[in-house]
Chains A and B, each alone.
Chain A
Amino acid sequence: MSKLSHVFALLTLMMIIPLSGQSQCKHFAKQVCKKELAPYIHNGNYNAAILTEGETAEMYKTFYSNQNYRVYICESSAMPRIHFQVLDINRNVIYDNKKNGYKMKWDFIPESSQQLIISLKVEDGENDSDGDPISGCVAIMIGIREKGENAP
Protein backbone atom coordinates (compact mmCIF):
# COMPACT_ATOMS: atom_id res chain seq x y z
CA MET A 1 0.00 0.00 0.00
CA SER A 2 2.77 2.35 0.96
CA LYS A 3 4.54 1.59 -2.33
CA LEU A 4 1.39 2.44 -4.27
CA SER A 5 1.01 5.79 -2.59
CA HIS A 6 4.65 6.57 -3.38
CA VAL A 7 4.10 5.69 -7.02
CA PHE A 8 1.02 7.89 -7.11
CA ALA A 9 2.87 10.81 -5.54
CA LEU A 10 5.76 10.38 -7.99
CA LEU A 11 3.38 10.30 -10.95
CA THR A 12 1.69 13.46 -9.69
CA LEU A 13 5.09 15.12 -9.42
CA MET A 14 6.05 14.04 -12.92
CA MET A 15 2.84 15.49 -14.33
CA ILE A 16 3.10 18.80 -12.50
CA ILE A 17 6.82 19.59 -12.86
CA PRO A 18 6.70 20.19 -16.62
CA LEU A 19 3.59 22.42 -16.32
CA SER A 20 5.12 24.47 -13.53
CA GLY A 21 8.40 24.78 -15.44
CA GLN A 22 6.64 25.75 -18.69
CA SER A 23 4.67 28.44 -16.89
CA GLN A 24 7.86 29.91 -15.43
CA CYS A 25 9.44 29.69 -18.88
CA LYS A 26 6.62 31.78 -20.32
CA HIS A 27 7.14 34.47 -17.68
CA PHE A 28 10.89 34.31 -18.26
CA ALA A 29 10.48 34.82 -22.02
CA LYS A 30 8.05 37.68 -21.51
CA GLN A 31 9.73 39.46 -18.59
CA VAL A 32 13.41 38.92 -19.30
CA CYS A 33 14.14 37.79 -22.86
CA LYS A 34 11.81 40.10 -24.77
CA LYS A 35 13.49 43.23 -23.41
CA GLU A 36 16.88 42.11 -24.64
CA LEU A 37 15.66 42.20 -28.24
CA ALA A 38 15.27 46.00 -28.24
CA PRO A 39 15.36 47.98 -30.50
CA TYR A 40 14.02 45.03 -32.50
CA ILE A 41 10.41 43.99 -31.82
CA HIS A 42 9.69 40.42 -30.82
CA ASN A 43 7.73 38.68 -33.59
CA GLY A 44 5.44 37.25 -30.90
CA ASN A 45 6.08 33.53 -31.49
CA TYR A 46 6.82 31.52 -28.35
CA ASN A 47 9.70 29.05 -28.70
CA ALA A 48 10.99 28.13 -25.26
CA ALA A 49 11.59 24.95 -23.32
CA ILE A 50 13.20 23.60 -20.18
CA LEU A 51 16.54 22.12 -21.24
CA THR A 52 19.15 20.22 -19.27
CA GLU A 53 22.90 20.48 -19.86
CA GLY A 54 23.96 18.43 -22.86
CA GLU A 55 20.57 18.77 -24.54
CA THR A 56 19.98 20.26 -27.97
CA ALA A 57 17.13 22.14 -29.61
CA GLU A 58 16.49 23.31 -33.16
CA MET A 59 14.20 25.85 -34.73
CA TYR A 60 13.19 25.89 -38.40
CA LYS A 61 12.05 29.24 -39.70
CA THR A 62 11.66 31.10 -42.97
CA PHE A 63 13.40 34.48 -43.01
CA TYR A 64 12.29 36.93 -45.68
CA SER A 65 14.29 38.87 -48.20
CA ASN A 66 15.62 42.26 -47.08
CA GLN A 67 13.98 42.13 -43.63
CA ASN A 68 16.01 43.02 -40.54
CA TYR A 69 16.26 40.21 -37.99
CA ARG A 70 17.81 39.65 -34.59
CA VAL A 71 18.21 36.14 -33.18
CA TYR A 72 18.60 36.09 -29.42
CA ILE A 73 19.14 32.95 -27.40
CA CYS A 74 18.01 33.61 -23.87
CA GLU A 75 18.74 31.31 -20.92
CA SER A 76 18.34 31.25 -17.17
CA SER A 77 21.42 32.70 -15.44
CA ALA A 78 22.66 29.58 -13.63
CA MET A 79 22.72 27.56 -16.82
CA PRO A 80 25.95 26.49 -18.54
CA ARG A 81 26.96 28.28 -21.77
CA ILE A 82 24.93 27.78 -24.90
CA HIS A 83 26.59 27.03 -28.20
CA PHE A 84 24.37 28.05 -31.09
CA GLN A 85 24.73 27.96 -34.86
CA VAL A 86 22.64 29.25 -37.72
CA LEU A 87 22.55 26.79 -40.61
CA ASP A 88 21.14 26.91 -44.11
CA ILE A 89 18.73 24.20 -45.21
CA ASN A 90 21.68 22.00 -46.30
CA ARG A 91 23.13 22.44 -42.80
CA ASN A 92 26.03 24.61 -43.95
CA VAL A 93 27.09 26.82 -41.03
CA ILE A 94 26.32 30.50 -41.60
CA TYR A 95 26.98 31.73 -38.07
CA ASP A 96 28.62 30.10 -35.05
CA ASN A 97 28.52 31.92 -31.71
CA LYS A 98 31.48 29.85 -30.44
CA LYS A 99 33.67 31.72 -32.94
CA ASN A 100 32.21 35.01 -31.72
CA GLY A 101 32.83 34.84 -27.98
CA TYR A 102 29.60 32.94 -27.27
CA LYS A 103 27.55 36.02 -28.11
CA MET A 104 23.87 35.28 -27.67
CA LYS A 105 22.62 37.84 -30.21
CA TRP A 106 23.07 37.90 -33.94
CA ASP A 107 21.68 40.55 -36.32
CA PHE A 108 21.27 39.82 -40.00
CA ILE A 109 19.51 40.71 -43.25
CA PRO A 110 18.94 37.92 -45.79
CA GLU A 111 19.15 39.05 -49.42
CA SER A 112 16.94 36.13 -50.43
CA SER A 113 14.03 34.57 -48.57
CA GLN A 114 15.13 31.24 -47.18
CA GLN A 115 14.56 28.69 -44.49
CA LEU A 116 17.26 28.66 -41.83
CA ILE A 117 17.87 26.37 -38.87
CA ILE A 118 18.85 27.71 -35.48
CA SER A 119 20.60 24.88 -33.70
CA LEU A 120 21.64 25.11 -30.05
CA LYS A 121 23.23 22.95 -27.41
CA VAL A 122 23.43 23.55 -23.68
CA GLU A 123 27.08 22.78 -22.99
CA ASP A 124 28.06 20.52 -20.12
CA GLY A 125 28.72 22.51 -16.96
CA GLU A 126 29.30 21.85 -13.31
CA ASN A 127 26.40 20.05 -11.65
CA ASP A 128 24.36 21.84 -8.99
CA SER A 129 25.10 21.44 -5.26
CA ASP A 130 23.17 18.13 -5.14
CA GLY A 131 25.21 16.74 -8.03
CA ASP A 132 22.25 16.85 -10.41
CA PRO A 133 22.58 18.20 -13.95
CA ILE A 134 21.35 21.78 -14.21
CA SER A 135 18.10 22.50 -16.02
CA GLY A 136 16.64 25.81 -16.97
CA CYS A 137 14.60 27.76 -19.42
CA VAL A 138 16.01 28.42 -22.90
CA ALA A 139 14.13 30.65 -25.35
CA ILE A 140 14.82 31.31 -29.01
CA MET A 141 13.65 34.87 -29.61
CA ILE A 142 13.27 36.41 -33.07
CA GLY A 143 13.23 40.19 -33.37
CA ILE A 144 12.17 42.18 -36.44
CA ARG A 145 12.41 45.84 -37.31
CA GLU A 146 11.32 48.14 -40.09
CA LYS A 147 13.74 49.15 -42.81
CA GLY A 148 15.34 52.52 -42.51
CA GLU A 149 15.54 52.45 -38.73
CA ASN A 150 19.00 53.16 -37.43
CA ALA A 151 21.07 50.18 -36.50
CA PRO A 152 21.87 49.83 -32.79
Chain B
Amino acid sequence: MNFRFSLLLASFAALFLVVAPGCKDAKKAEEEPSQEAVTVDSIDQQLVKDVKEVKEMFYSMPSPLEVAMILKESGETYNPELMNPLNNTSRYVTTKSRALNLGIYTTDLSYSSLYDQTQTTIDYINAAKEMAEGLGIMHAIDNKTIDRLEANVNNRDVILDIISETILASSSHFKENDREAISTIILIGGWVEGLYIATRLAEDNPTQEQINSNELIARIADQKLALNTIMKLRNKNKSNEHLASVMSDIKELQNIYDKITIETSKVVPVKDTATGVTTLKSETSITMTPEIYKQLKEKIDVIRTKFIS
Protein backbone atom coordinates (compact mmCIF):
# COMPACT_ATOMS: atom_id res chain seq x y z
CA MET B 1 0.00 0.00 0.00
CA ASN B 2 2.81 2.35 1.03
CA PHE B 3 4.75 1.47 -2.10
CA ARG B 4 1.80 2.13 -4.36
CA PHE B 5 1.16 5.41 -2.63
CA SER B 6 4.76 6.56 -2.99
CA LEU B 7 4.75 5.48 -6.64
CA LEU B 8 1.59 7.47 -7.29
CA LEU B 9 2.95 10.46 -5.40
CA ALA B 10 6.23 10.38 -7.34
CA SER B 11 4.36 10.22 -10.66
CA PHE B 12 2.05 13.11 -9.79
CA ALA B 13 5.00 15.16 -8.54
CA ALA B 14 6.85 14.47 -11.78
CA LEU B 15 3.82 15.35 -13.87
CA PHE B 16 3.26 18.58 -11.96
CA LEU B 17 6.88 19.65 -12.08
CA VAL B 18 7.12 19.20 -15.83
CA VAL B 19 3.67 19.87 -17.26
CA ALA B 20 2.70 22.86 -15.11
CA PRO B 21 5.62 25.10 -16.15
CA GLY B 22 5.24 23.83 -19.72
CA CYS B 23 1.56 24.83 -19.88
CA LYS B 24 2.31 28.22 -18.34
CA ASP B 25 5.08 28.87 -20.83
CA ALA B 26 2.99 27.78 -23.81
CA LYS B 27 0.18 30.10 -22.74
CA LYS B 28 2.64 32.95 -22.27
CA ALA B 29 4.05 32.33 -25.75
CA GLU B 30 0.58 32.64 -27.24
CA GLU B 31 -0.28 35.80 -25.34
CA GLU B 32 2.95 37.72 -25.78
CA PRO B 33 5.32 36.10 -28.25
CA SER B 34 8.88 36.32 -27.08
CA GLN B 35 12.09 34.49 -27.80
CA GLU B 36 12.40 32.71 -24.50
CA ALA B 37 14.67 29.68 -24.46
CA VAL B 38 13.08 26.33 -23.82
CA THR B 39 15.62 25.18 -21.27
CA VAL B 40 15.58 21.54 -20.34
CA ASP B 41 17.61 21.56 -17.16
CA SER B 42 16.28 18.54 -15.30
CA ILE B 43 18.03 15.83 -17.29
CA ASP B 44 21.17 14.21 -16.00
CA GLN B 45 24.55 14.71 -17.67
CA GLN B 46 24.70 11.21 -19.15
CA LEU B 47 21.41 11.75 -20.93
CA VAL B 48 22.62 15.08 -22.28
CA LYS B 49 25.81 13.39 -23.52
CA ASP B 50 23.76 10.70 -25.30
CA VAL B 51 21.43 13.23 -26.87
CA LYS B 52 24.42 15.25 -28.13
CA GLU B 53 25.38 12.38 -30.40
CA VAL B 54 21.98 12.35 -32.10
CA LYS B 55 21.79 14.27 -35.34
CA GLU B 56 18.33 15.62 -36.28
CA MET B 57 17.46 14.86 -39.89
CA PHE B 58 14.54 16.56 -41.61
CA TYR B 59 13.30 15.52 -45.02
CA SER B 60 11.06 18.24 -46.38
CA MET B 61 8.58 17.50 -49.16
CA PRO B 62 7.01 20.27 -51.21
CA SER B 63 3.97 21.51 -49.28
CA PRO B 64 0.56 22.01 -50.97
CA LEU B 65 1.23 25.75 -51.03
CA GLU B 66 4.56 25.27 -52.81
CA VAL B 67 3.00 22.83 -55.27
CA ALA B 68 0.25 25.35 -56.11
CA MET B 69 2.79 28.14 -56.49
CA ILE B 70 4.78 26.06 -58.99
CA LEU B 71 1.57 25.52 -60.99
CA LYS B 72 0.80 29.24 -60.99
CA GLU B 73 4.34 30.28 -61.90
CA SER B 74 4.31 27.99 -64.93
CA GLY B 75 1.87 30.44 -66.51
CA GLU B 76 -0.97 28.02 -67.15
CA THR B 77 -4.61 29.03 -66.80
CA TYR B 78 -6.87 28.14 -63.86
CA ASN B 79 -9.11 25.12 -64.35
CA PRO B 80 -11.44 24.32 -61.40
CA GLU B 81 -12.69 21.15 -63.08
CA LEU B 82 -9.37 19.50 -62.30
CA MET B 83 -9.89 19.77 -58.55
CA ASN B 84 -11.30 16.96 -56.40
CA PRO B 85 -15.11 17.52 -56.31
CA LEU B 86 -16.42 18.78 -52.99
CA ASN B 87 -19.17 16.18 -52.83
CA ASN B 88 -16.53 13.45 -52.53
CA THR B 89 -15.86 14.28 -48.86
CA SER B 90 -18.36 11.73 -47.54
CA ARG B 91 -16.37 8.93 -49.21
CA TYR B 92 -13.39 9.39 -46.93
CA VAL B 93 -13.86 7.47 -43.71
CA THR B 94 -10.46 5.86 -43.10
CA THR B 95 -7.32 7.48 -41.68
CA LYS B 96 -5.47 6.91 -44.94
CA SER B 97 -8.15 8.37 -47.21
CA ARG B 98 -8.73 11.36 -44.91
CA ALA B 99 -5.00 12.10 -44.73
CA LEU B 100 -4.55 11.80 -48.50
CA ASN B 101 -7.55 13.99 -49.20
CA LEU B 102 -6.60 16.57 -46.58
CA GLY B 103 -3.47 17.04 -48.69
CA ILE B 104 -5.44 16.95 -51.95
CA TYR B 105 -8.03 19.52 -50.82
CA THR B 106 -5.28 21.72 -49.37
CA THR B 107 -3.48 21.80 -52.74
CA ASP B 108 -6.82 22.56 -54.43
CA LEU B 109 -7.60 25.46 -52.12
CA SER B 110 -4.03 26.78 -52.45
CA TYR B 111 -4.39 26.56 -56.23
CA SER B 112 -7.73 28.43 -56.26
CA SER B 113 -6.47 31.07 -53.82
CA LEU B 114 -3.48 31.91 -56.04
CA TYR B 115 -5.95 32.66 -58.84
CA ASP B 116 -8.07 34.80 -56.47
CA GLN B 117 -11.01 32.40 -56.57
CA THR B 118 -12.16 33.30 -53.07
CA GLN B 119 -15.51 31.51 -52.89
CA THR B 120 -13.92 28.30 -54.19
CA THR B 121 -11.14 28.71 -51.64
CA ILE B 122 -13.70 28.99 -48.83
CA ASP B 123 -15.59 25.93 -50.12
CA TYR B 124 -12.40 23.90 -50.30
CA ILE B 125 -11.15 24.96 -46.87
CA ASN B 126 -14.43 23.59 -45.52
CA ALA B 127 -13.70 20.28 -47.27
CA ALA B 128 -10.19 20.28 -45.78
CA LYS B 129 -11.72 21.08 -42.36
CA GLU B 130 -13.90 17.98 -42.65
CA MET B 131 -10.85 15.83 -43.37
CA ALA B 132 -8.88 17.39 -40.49
CA GLU B 133 -11.76 16.80 -38.07
CA GLY B 134 -11.95 13.18 -39.19
CA LEU B 135 -8.26 12.85 -38.34
CA GLY B 136 -8.86 14.35 -34.88
CA ILE B 137 -7.10 17.67 -35.48
CA MET B 138 -10.01 20.03 -34.89
CA HIS B 139 -7.65 22.94 -34.12
CA ALA B 140 -5.89 22.75 -37.53
CA ILE B 141 -8.86 24.32 -39.30
CA ASP B 142 -11.64 25.59 -37.02
CA ASN B 143 -14.54 28.01 -37.41
CA LYS B 144 -12.25 30.93 -36.52
CA THR B 145 -10.06 29.98 -39.52
CA ILE B 146 -13.08 30.04 -41.84
CA ASP B 147 -14.32 33.35 -40.34
CA ARG B 148 -10.87 34.91 -40.80
CA LEU B 149 -10.78 33.70 -44.38
CA GLU B 150 -14.24 35.12 -45.12
CA ALA B 151 -13.28 38.45 -43.56
CA ASN B 152 -10.22 38.71 -45.82
CA VAL B 153 -11.56 37.59 -49.18
CA ASN B 154 -9.86 40.52 -50.90
CA ASN B 155 -6.52 40.14 -49.20
CA ARG B 156 -4.49 37.43 -50.87
CA ASP B 157 -1.55 37.74 -48.47
CA VAL B 158 -3.77 37.01 -45.48
CA ILE B 159 -5.45 34.12 -47.32
CA LEU B 160 -2.07 32.55 -48.12
CA ASP B 161 -0.99 33.08 -44.53
CA ILE B 162 -4.12 31.28 -43.29
CA ILE B 163 -3.43 28.36 -45.63
CA SER B 164 0.19 28.23 -44.46
CA GLU B 165 -1.01 28.14 -40.84
CA THR B 166 -3.40 25.25 -41.48
CA ILE B 167 -0.60 23.22 -43.10
CA LEU B 168 1.71 24.03 -40.16
CA ALA B 169 -0.96 23.05 -37.63
CA SER B 170 -1.51 19.63 -39.16
CA SER B 171 2.17 18.85 -39.89
CA SER B 172 3.32 19.91 -36.41
CA HIS B 173 0.49 18.01 -34.72
CA PHE B 174 1.45 14.71 -36.29
CA LYS B 175 5.20 15.23 -35.96
CA GLU B 176 5.02 16.09 -32.26
CA ASN B 177 2.86 13.07 -31.59
CA ASP B 178 5.29 10.72 -33.32
CA ARG B 179 2.92 10.24 -36.24
CA GLU B 180 5.16 11.63 -38.96
CA ALA B 181 3.80 8.92 -41.26
CA ILE B 182 0.37 10.59 -41.28
CA SER B 183 1.95 13.96 -41.98
CA THR B 184 3.85 12.33 -44.88
CA ILE B 185 0.63 10.84 -46.30
CA ILE B 186 -1.01 14.30 -46.22
CA LEU B 187 1.94 15.75 -48.14
CA ILE B 188 1.95 12.86 -50.65
CA GLY B 189 -1.77 13.50 -51.30
CA GLY B 190 -1.08 17.20 -51.92
CA TRP B 191 1.92 16.43 -54.09
CA VAL B 192 0.07 13.90 -56.28
CA GLU B 193 -2.79 16.40 -56.69
CA GLY B 194 -0.30 18.98 -57.93
CA LEU B 195 1.19 16.47 -60.38
CA TYR B 196 -2.29 15.55 -61.60
CA ILE B 197 -3.29 19.18 -62.21
CA ALA B 198 0.07 19.87 -63.89
CA THR B 199 -0.17 16.92 -66.29
CA ARG B 200 -3.74 17.91 -67.18
CA LEU B 201 -2.79 21.53 -67.79
CA ALA B 202 0.26 20.64 -69.88
CA GLU B 203 0.18 19.65 -73.53
CA ASP B 204 -1.73 16.37 -73.99
CA ASN B 205 0.67 14.54 -76.30
CA PRO B 206 3.79 16.68 -76.36
CA THR B 207 6.45 16.27 -79.02
CA GLN B 208 10.10 15.93 -78.02
CA GLU B 209 10.57 19.60 -78.82
CA GLN B 210 7.66 20.60 -76.57
CA ILE B 211 9.01 18.39 -73.80
CA ASN B 212 12.38 20.09 -74.09
CA SER B 213 10.96 23.62 -74.01
CA ASN B 214 7.80 23.57 -71.86
CA GLU B 215 8.34 24.95 -68.37
CA LEU B 216 5.45 23.03 -66.77
CA ILE B 217 6.66 19.72 -68.22
CA ALA B 218 10.13 20.50 -66.87
CA ARG B 219 8.60 21.03 -63.40
CA ILE B 220 6.76 17.69 -63.73
CA ALA B 221 10.08 15.97 -64.52
CA ASP B 222 11.74 17.81 -61.61
CA GLN B 223 9.47 15.94 -59.22
CA LYS B 224 11.90 13.05 -59.55
CA LEU B 225 13.94 14.97 -56.96
CA ALA B 226 11.01 15.13 -54.51
CA LEU B 227 10.61 11.36 -54.84
CA ASN B 228 14.02 10.93 -53.18
CA THR B 229 12.67 12.81 -50.17
CA ILE B 230 9.52 10.66 -50.08
CA MET B 231 11.67 7.53 -50.06
CA LYS B 232 13.70 8.87 -47.12
CA LEU B 233 10.49 9.62 -45.22
CA ARG B 234 9.24 6.11 -46.00
CA ASN B 235 12.44 4.64 -44.52
CA LYS B 236 11.96 6.71 -41.36
CA ASN B 237 8.39 5.43 -40.92
CA LYS B 238 8.60 1.88 -42.25
CA SER B 239 6.29 0.36 -39.65
CA ASN B 240 3.25 2.46 -40.56
CA GLU B 241 0.77 0.35 -42.54
CA HIS B 242 -1.09 3.32 -44.04
CA LEU B 243 2.12 4.79 -45.43
CA ALA B 244 3.27 1.38 -46.67
CA SER B 245 0.03 1.06 -48.63
CA VAL B 246 0.43 4.54 -50.17
CA MET B 247 4.06 3.78 -50.99
CA SER B 248 3.17 0.79 -53.14
CA ASP B 249 1.54 3.26 -55.57
CA ILE B 250 4.39 5.74 -55.28
CA LYS B 251 6.92 2.98 -56.01
CA GLU B 252 5.20 2.38 -59.39
CA LEU B 253 5.54 6.07 -60.13
CA GLN B 254 9.21 5.94 -59.14
CA ASN B 255 9.82 3.13 -61.64
CA ILE B 256 8.79 5.53 -64.41
CA TYR B 257 10.69 8.49 -62.94
CA ASP B 258 13.81 6.28 -62.88
CA LYS B 259 13.75 6.41 -66.70
CA ILE B 260 14.14 10.21 -66.63
CA THR B 261 17.64 11.65 -66.38
CA ILE B 262 18.29 15.03 -64.77
CA GLU B 263 21.79 16.50 -64.86
CA THR B 264 22.66 19.77 -63.19
CA SER B 265 25.90 21.68 -63.59
CA LYS B 266 27.90 23.00 -60.64
CA VAL B 267 26.10 25.80 -58.80
CA VAL B 268 27.61 29.28 -58.85
CA PRO B 269 26.00 31.64 -56.31
CA VAL B 270 25.75 35.26 -57.43
CA LYS B 271 24.48 37.83 -54.97
CA ASP B 272 22.57 40.92 -56.05
CA THR B 273 23.90 43.54 -53.65
CA ALA B 274 20.88 45.81 -54.19
CA THR B 275 18.23 43.27 -53.20
CA GLY B 276 20.37 40.91 -51.12
CA VAL B 277 19.00 37.98 -53.10
CA THR B 278 21.43 35.31 -54.33
CA THR B 279 20.83 33.61 -57.66
CA LEU B 280 22.09 30.04 -57.82
CA LYS B 281 23.35 29.95 -61.37
CA SER B 282 23.42 26.51 -62.94
CA GLU B 283 22.15 24.63 -65.96
CA THR B 284 19.98 21.56 -66.05
CA SER B 285 19.47 19.01 -68.74
CA ILE B 286 16.40 16.76 -68.55
CA THR B 287 16.18 13.67 -70.71
CA MET B 288 12.61 12.41 -71.14
CA THR B 289 11.01 10.94 -74.26
CA PRO B 290 7.35 11.51 -75.24
CA GLU B 291 6.72 7.82 -74.47
CA ILE B 292 8.08 8.14 -70.91
CA TYR B 293 6.01 11.30 -70.40
CA LYS B 294 2.90 9.43 -71.58
CA GLN B 295 3.58 6.60 -69.10
CA LEU B 296 4.11 9.13 -66.34
CA LYS B 297 0.90 10.98 -67.08
CA GLU B 298 -1.13 7.76 -67.19
CA LYS B 299 0.34 6.52 -63.91
CA ILE B 300 -0.36 9.82 -62.16
CA ASP B 301 -3.94 9.63 -63.43
CA VAL B 302 -4.39 6.10 -62.06
CA ILE B 303 -2.89 6.95 -58.64
CA ARG B 304 -4.88 10.17 -58.26
CA THR B 305 -8.13 8.40 -59.23
CA LYS B 306 -7.36 5.76 -56.58
CA PHE B 307 -6.62 8.41 -53.93
CA ILE B 308 -9.88 10.31 -54.44
CA SER B 309 -12.11 7.21 -54.80
Contact = CB atoms under 8 A, between A and B. Distances in A.
B26 A23 contact: yes
B292 interface: no
B60 A59 contact: yes
B13 interface: yes
Interface stretch (B30-38, B81-89, B121-129, B142-150): B30-38
Contacts of A76: 35-38
B91 interface: no
Interface in B5-55: 6-7, 9-11, 13-15, 17-19, 22, 25-26, 29-30, 33-43, 45, 47-48, 51-52, 54-55
Contacts of A35: 33
Contact of B22 (A23, A106, A109): A23
B164 to A, nearest CB: 5
Given A13-B18, A44-B63, A57-B58, A32 B35 contact: yes
A151 B226 CA distance: 27
Interface in A41-64: 41-52, 54-62, 64
A27 B29 contact: yes
Secondary structure dominating the interface of A: mixed
18 contacts: A17-B18, A21-B40, A30-B165, A32-B29, A34-B168, A41-B160, A45-B61, A55-B52, A57-B55, A58-B58, A79-B37, A110-B279, A111-B281, A113-B225, A114-B280, A130-B41, A146-B72, A146-B73
B290 to A, nearest CB: 21
A27 B185 CA distance: 23
B264 interface: yes
B65 A43 contact: yes
Contacts of B26: 23-24, 27
A48 B172 CA distance: 9
Contacts of A10: 14
Nearest to B3: A1
A31 B281 CA distance: 34
B225 A27 contact: no
A143 B62 CA distance: 12
B52 A52 contact: yes
A10 B163 CA distance: 41
A8 B11 CA distance: 7
Given A5-B9, A114-B282, 16 more contacts: A12-B10, A12-B11, A20-B19, A24-B22, A34-B164, A41-B160, A46-B172, A47-B60, A58-B55, A60-B60, A60-B229, A61-B59, A106-B278, A108-B278, A108-B280, A133-B52
Nearest to A118: B58
Nearest to B106: A44
A31 B38 contact: no
Given A65-B219, A115-B228, A128-B41, A9 B11 contact: yes
B24 to A, nearest CB: 10
Contact of B269 (A68, A95, A128, A132): A95
Contact of A55 (B47, B55, B166): B55
Contacts of A75: 35
A21 B36 CA distance: 12
A92 B267 contact: yes
Contact of A108 (B165, B167, B171, B277): B277
Contact of B30 (A2, A27, A152): A27
